[in-house]
Structure 1
Amino acid sequence: MAFPPIHPALARALESRNYQEPTPVQKSVVEAAAEDRDLLVSAQTGSGKTVAYGLAMGQTLLQDRDTLGEAGNPLGLIIAPTRELALQVSDELRWLFAEAGARIVTCVGGMDARTEQKALFRGAHLVVGTPGRLRDHLERGNLRTQDLQVAVLDEADEMLNLGFREDLEFILEATPAERRTLLFSATLPKPIVALTKRYQTNALRIEVANQSSSHSDIEYRAIRVAPTEIEHAVVNLLRQAESPTAIVFCNTREQVRHLHTGLLDRGFGAVSLSGELGQAERNQALQALRDGRSRVCVATDVAARGIDLPNLGLVIHAELPNDAETLQHRSGRTGRAGRKGVSVLLVPLSKRRKADRLLTDAKIRPIWSAPPSADEIRALDRDRLLTDPLFSDEAGDDDLATAGVLVERFSPMEIASAFARLYRQKLPAPEDIYDPGPGRDDKTGRKANAEPRSRRDGEREEGTGGRHAIGPAVWFHLDIGRRNNADPKWLLPLLCRRGKVTREDIGAIRIFDKETKVEIRADAAERFASAAQGSDDDITVTRMDGGAPPAGRDRDGGGNARTGRPPRAQKAFSRRADGDAPRRGPPKYGAKGPGKGPGKPGKPRRAD
């Protein structure tokens, strides 16, 4: 599929970049039916839409002229939601309009407004900017729009989501009514439809692909992981993929800082992007990724919107996005322009339901698996070592002379082992990581190998005949009881997280007034003891000697040790911080216990 007839200057620019055939959106905007019309375009991220509206603008601005001529008042205006996207658009349009002699000025927040003002006064054919900065230049009289022929709204839905509606309306009201308006949006919510009715005339609707479907060049994977091992899973995924560039998404600036620091400490070349960084810092981070000095970017959604990084083959969702649209936008950073990519969601068991909902809404069927283990990564390292270019590159005279000295002094095994150590030293060490189990079955949504309902969570039986049978077992002691709101419903996931075991490894849970005793499968007891030692969550876990505790009432009386439930008349309560009505259930994060009664005030956490 070749490009339809376009202006010779644009055709030469495409040829210089080895564009052999157009993407569907690029083909649609330059067909005869779209000529000189307002366009309302839905296009998947990574579909080549920047070049698409550049071609559409070029057809209008150049007409039969060879070049755009002398720069004066802007002829084209492109509005983008973020600084990074605006800068990226400017770079794309510069090479596309290079043969046409275009002068392009970029106006974005975080840059020197006086420098932009001087550039506008010197004249520009195209102006690219963010809504807030463009409005500022309009109000100050720096940006003159009386000669404007084309206005482009890139990622219009995101601009509205970020609260730029008022700025957009101000800018469009300041432009000539006869201008051509090109609106590109991944989705078409009601505010976008209202905007098109107000500022477009007889717009041609172009829908390139079904926006609810996932990108065909992206492989989606979902990794089950323990909540405490998110960072370890990120490390092992980066080591497994060895992608030239990867991006890791977090939901908050604090999590970006934490994960970025952890990757740097492990020896990764990593940069961070979040809203707290200035524009100069963002530019430095992106440049480090583009020239190969760093290969991992840890970012929030807002900071990474619109970023197009070369050779980005891996996207990791360290924290689940809030909706399916964000999931697809994050994932769309890879698998662009015909290249393949991988998008990986890290899913703690407590977040499995949310992950299922996100994937269903996005119509994505991922491959579920355990996190890559340290042994798997070491095996990959050995395979990569055997195919390293060092073995195939031609050796120089100095290399051969050094090799001769080494062979005379050391045995082949000593030389090979030293080389392997040197090779390993340049790589971040993989992490030993725990597989929390398959969770719910991918097809039915039920937990794989699930227990009957009467033996799950807080309904697990702890009697001698009907309890969860696990065979040979070891008993452990917890220094919290009913007076600390201990309950199997939150103790069970806490023990799995803390001790790195599955629910199937846990048998009876016997709760007394001031203590709790838990049965752990014998073959998992050592792992549980090692992982659960210490005093995390203000709960101390110790191994018991002397076999199983009695199944009757504890020494303080009151309470059913078999079921782990308090007597009917003595249900545990915790009081609110303000002393008002009591509430039931385990304390929230940071709570200091269920009141001022006797017993150790515990701080147990929920599983999520």
Structure 2
Amino acid sequence: MNFPAIPPSLEAALAERGYASATPVQSEVMKPEAVGRDLVVSAQTGSGKTIAFGIAMAADLLGDKDSLAFVERPLALVIAPTRELALQVSRELDWLYRKAGGRIATCVGGMNPQQERKTLRSGPSIVVGTPGRLRDHLERGALDLSGLKAVVLDEADEMLDMGFREELEEILDATPETRRTLLFSATMPRPIEALARRYQNDALRIATISEGRGHGDISYQAVTVSPPEIENAVVNLLRYHEAETAILFCATREKVRHLHATLQERGFAVVALSGEHSQSERNQALQALRDRRARVCVATDVAARGIDLPTLSLVVHVEIPRDAETLQHRSGRTGRAGKKGTAVLIVPFSRRRRVESMLRHAKINADWIDAPDRDAIKSRDRERLLEKLLQPVEVDEGDTELAERLLAERTPAQIAAMLVQAHRATMPEPEDLIANTPEAQRAAQKERHRPGFDDTVWFRMELGRRQNADPRWILPLICRRGHITRNEVGAIRIGPEETYFQIPRPMADKFAKAAARSAVADGDDDPVAIELSETGPRDAAKGNRKSLRRHGNADGPRIKAKPSFKKFDKSKGKKSGKPDNPRKGAKGGRKPKGRKPS
């Protein structure tokens, strides 16, 4: 076994699991200069980080002995951003420390907190949990951190991205100053460096991420498609690769639900995984993938970390990741432990430049290709079928008798054709895609424009983000004031202090007059101005000035209208004077500019 000197119990556990040699990150944390020190480790997902920090804290937990006696207070704490990652870490540490008598307590959201508190009282040597649940146990007095010898922050960058800074600081402030702090993160942004400076002492920096590609065992591809063809491209990618396990990443829960239902309808064995699912449902979905009862998982970014499926070889970014870090973390679900994987980005024509910039930032070289068509999929099907049928098999007497009967009634060619048809019948049909040509791209761009909005006029109102402007209540307001329907409102652009919106040119005069009349009817003393805009946002409405002169309104009086919140959207039961602002609530919102207090 090619591991440096480690406790015999851990060495035996690693040998049972088939670990022959240490990965780069595991080798680094076992070097003499790293022993006993705080560590800041940059390591790619799938590089064996869990075993690395499990070995790194062995000296703190075991000392000169090879076993862990009963303890009243935990000796080590591991904090992870998601339930899935915490559960995975707990499983890994359980088998690693089982021979040493280590007991693991897991504290994550979605589980029974009373049962967790009971487990904490039973004397676990290692506690693994998510920040929110750990802080809850800490504040209730169920978690005593005064005896900690080591703290591990796994995927620390993701925890800060998810807004767990306060929880982390409260937990770390409750730990002894003498404890070791091991900080593991795939990326090292400034907030991580600030956290390290505050809670670590003379930390050793370890970086095992290559300066080249984001992940050497992953082959990246980018597929350009017309926006309406995205789902068909997903179907063809799944059929072309026929991966043993695949994950499709979406941005929202709604998209996960829709794509999950679509793939189920088309005959794929698929499960869904998002924040709306309970822990029990998540466990069932993951178990279905491990048991191979399902081969496809449609997920939000909640699954981008902490899911380890050995058979996962294909990741499809159905919706573009928000940044390069998310791209790498999603893709890192495959290509793990030395295995090869493929990550495919589905890129609408109009967003290619953004994706190219993201790939450059992530130092990833992706192959830009077309989505596989029906002919390419059938060709791959034939290759896979031949490979499968030419493999040696064991047959019994019944199989031989059936084969002889078939040969007596059908020719070998007929039997082979029937076998091919039977094989294809078990697989979903590929989709016909529009050819990826310049003409198709121009047609897709044209489809983005709504009918009737080729010629529009921009209007402006003195409400912006600083007044909590939001399309969800701006749109009903525009419709009510201008006596139009939502289908007659074009683009809405909200700036810091003002909002612009489009009205079709034939309706512009009618809208302006209606907005003026409704302002007078509401009888507000200090109305917010709604006026025709000569430039629009960023000069988007070039030609407005000419159109106004043609319609005789260029020198007309300024049209003012007051967005009267006290009447809008009564059908939904809104209270007067309070536009819907879910982010800030009743206290956080500022009143619209110019509005007098009542």
Q: Same fold (TM over 0.5)?
A: yes
Q: TM-score, normalised by structure 2?
A: 0.74
Shift of 1:435: 2.7
Give the aligned partner of residue 468 of structure 1.
none
In 2, Cα distance between equivalents of 1:302 and 1:438:
36
Give the aligned partner of residue 73 of structure 1.
73
Give the aligned partner of residue 294 of structure 2.
294
Shift of 1:179: 0.8
Contact 1:243 1:313 in 2 (8 A): yes
Distance 1:391 1:37, change over 3 A: closer
Distance 1:211 1:407, change over 3 A: same
Deviates more, 1:280-289 or 1:10-19: 10-19
In 1, Cα distance between equivalents of 2:508 and 2:289:
51
Contact 1:371 1:435 in 2 (8 A): no
In 2, Cα distance between equivalents of 1:32 and 1:196:
21
Give the aligned partner of residue 189 of structure 1.
189
Please give the per-residue CA displacement for 1:472-496, whole angstroms capped at 9, x wherever unaligned. Answer: xxxxxx996xxx34379xxxxxxxx
Distance 1:263 1:118, change over 3 A: same
Distance 1:349 1:233, change over 3 A: same
Please give the per-residue CA displacement for 1:46-96, whole angstroms capped at 9, x wherever unaligned. Answer: 111111100001122112112112243211100000000000001111111
In 1, Cα distance between equivalents of 2:180 and 2:243:
42
Contact 1:47 1:336 in 2 (8 A): yes
Contact 2:212 2:364 in 1 (8 A): no
Give the aligned partner of residue 392 of structure 2.
392
Question: How many residues matched?
Answer: 475
Corresponding residue SS for 1:368: strand
Give the aligned partner of residue 454 of structure 2.
486
In 1, Cα distance between equivalents of 2:315 and 2:455:
38
Distance 1:20 1:438, change over 3 A: farther
* 2:20 counterpart letter in structure 1: Q
Contact 1:485 1:574 in 2 (8 A): no
Deviates more, 1:122-131 or 1:573-582: 573-582
Distance 1:211 1:54, change over 3 A: farther
Give the aligned partner of residue 348 of structure 1.
348
Deviates more, 1:380-389 or 1:49-58: 380-389
Could you list the runs of 5+ residues in structure 2 that have no partner in the other structure? Answer: 457-486, 489-503, 516-529, 542-546, 552-598
Shift of 1:2: 2.8
Contact 1:273 1:304 in 2 (8 A): no
Root mean square deviation, CA, Å: 3.0
Shift of 1:574: 5.5
In 2, Cα distance between equivalents of 1:406 and 1:36:
71
Matched, 1:313 2:313: yes
Give the aligned partner of residue 55 of structure 1.
55
Give the aligned partner of residue 467 of structure 1.
none
Deviates more, 1:190-199 or 1:284-293: 190-199
Please give the per-residue CA displacement for 1:535-554, whole angstroms capped at 9, x wherever unaligned. Answer: xx99xxxxxxxxxxxxxxxx
Give the aligned partner of residue 370 of structure 2.
370
Give the aligned partner of residue 426 of structure 2.
426
Contact 1:36 1:180 in 2 (8 A): yes
Give the aligned partner of residue 259 of structure 1.
259
* 2:454 counterpart letter in structure 1: A
Give the aligned partner of residue 560 of structure 1.
none
* 2:231 counterpart letter in structure 1: E
* 1:110 counterpart letter in structure 2: G
Shift of 1:312: 1.0
User: 1:408-427, aligned counterparts within 5 Å?
Assistant: 408-427=408-427
| Structure having the larger proportion of residues in helix | 2
Give the aligned partner of residue 153 of structure 2.
153
In 1, Cα distance between equivalents of 2:450 and 2:75:
74
Shift of 1:418: 2.2
Matched, 1:137 2:137: yes
Corresponding residue SS for 1:53: helix
* 2:354 counterpart letter in structure 1: K
Contact 1:106 1:129 in 2 (8 A): yes
Shift of 1:109: 0.2
Please give the per-residue CA displacement for 1:148-167, whole angstroms capped at 9, x wherever unaligned. Answer: 11111111111111111111
User: 1:149-548, aligned counterparts within 5 Å?
Assistant: 149-210=149-210, 213-389=213-389, 392-437=392-437, 484-486=452-454
Corresponding residue SS for 2:353: helix
Distance 1:423 1:210, change over 3 A: closer
Give the aligned partner of residue 116 of structure 2.
116
Give the aligned partner of residue 531 of structure 2.
581
Shift of 1:288: 0.8
Corresponding residue SS for 2:57: helix
Contact 1:275 1:303 in 2 (8 A): no
Shift of 1:391: 5.9
Percentage identity across aligned positions? Answer: 55
Could you list the runs of 5+ residues in structure 1 that have no partner in the other structure? Answer: 441-446, 451-456, 459-477, 489-536, 539-569, 589-593, 598-608
Distance 1:87 1:574, change over 3 A: farther
Corresponding residue SS for 1:70: coil
Give the aligned partner of residue 497 of structure 2.
none
Matched, 1:104 2:104: yes
* 1:16 counterpart letter in structure 2: E
Distance 1:365 1:487, change over 3 A: farther
In 1, Cα distance between equivalents of 2:84 and 2:141:
25
Shift of 1:439: 10
In 2, Cα distance between equivalents of 1:373 and 1:487:
38
